[in-house]
Amino acid sequence: MILKVVTSNPGKVTEYREALSSFSIDIEHTRIPYDEIQTSRLEDVVENGMEHLKASGLTDFIIDDSGMFVGALKGFPGVYSAYVQRTIGNAGILRLMENEENREANFQCCIGCNLKGKDIVVLGKCDGMILKKETGTEGFGYDPIFSHDGKRSFAELPIVEKNRVSHRGDAVRLLMKEIEKVV
Ligand code: IMP
């Protein structure tokens, strides 16, 4: 089975390729821009994006919208994670978190999958914390400042290990349970 992963982020493609290889699903990286609506729910962004892509004739694809939600910042950057990463970046988040004792944060990943004419939407989650400084060179985005175990950042984990514990890995496992019902 081949699924097109529609994203401009090569880091996500690498993670999907690794996570789905054990299910004998091949990944085709597809770059088609689609509108991301401004809303407070990742699911709404994904469902809207799926409608846009289906209307353009695309089938058998995956899109994902992810965000990092920081407790002490009342869930910010959340659905604004891409914009915040592009503007203030990891250094900006660390500045906002200076002198903050509560480091609790979570990552969420909403996957939308169109397969054999059916739509599946799942939400994966990973609880963790914001580190005090950037660490590690793997991964992408907020990986250097987020840790699931309070010891190593996501950017210090080999990809197989990140997929085992991450929001995207969680979402992929939920997706596979749903795909099994379709195929
Ligand atoms: P989007 O899903 O591509 O809109 O991602 C939102 C923002 O969160 C982007 O800046 C991504 O780099 C970041 N992001 C998404 N997933 C991850 C991840 O697994 N690790 C670190 N940052 C991520």
Query: Of 29, 62, 66, 70, which is best to mutate to test ligand 1, by the most ligand atoms within 8 angstroms of its C-beta?
Result: 66
* Residue-wise pLDDT tens digits, 109-153: 999 999 999 999 999 999 999 999 999 999 999 999 999 999 999
Residue 22 has pLDDT above 90, yes or no: no
Residue 166 has pLDDT above 90, yes or no: yes
| pLDDT for the residue numbered 35 | 82
C-alpha to C-alpha distance for 180 and 101, rounded to whole angstroms: 43
Residue 100 has pLDDT above 80, yes or no: yes
C-alpha to C-alpha distance for 161 and 176, rounded to whole angstroms: 18
Q: Whose CA is nearest to atom 12 of ligand 1?
A: 141
Residue 183 has pLDDT above 80, yes or no: no
Average pLDDT, rounded, for the chain: 95
Q: Where are the alpha helices (DSSP H) in the chain?
A: 10-21, 42-55, 81-87, 89-96, 159-165, 167-182
Give Cβ neighbours of residue 9 (< 8 Å, ≥ 6 apart): 140
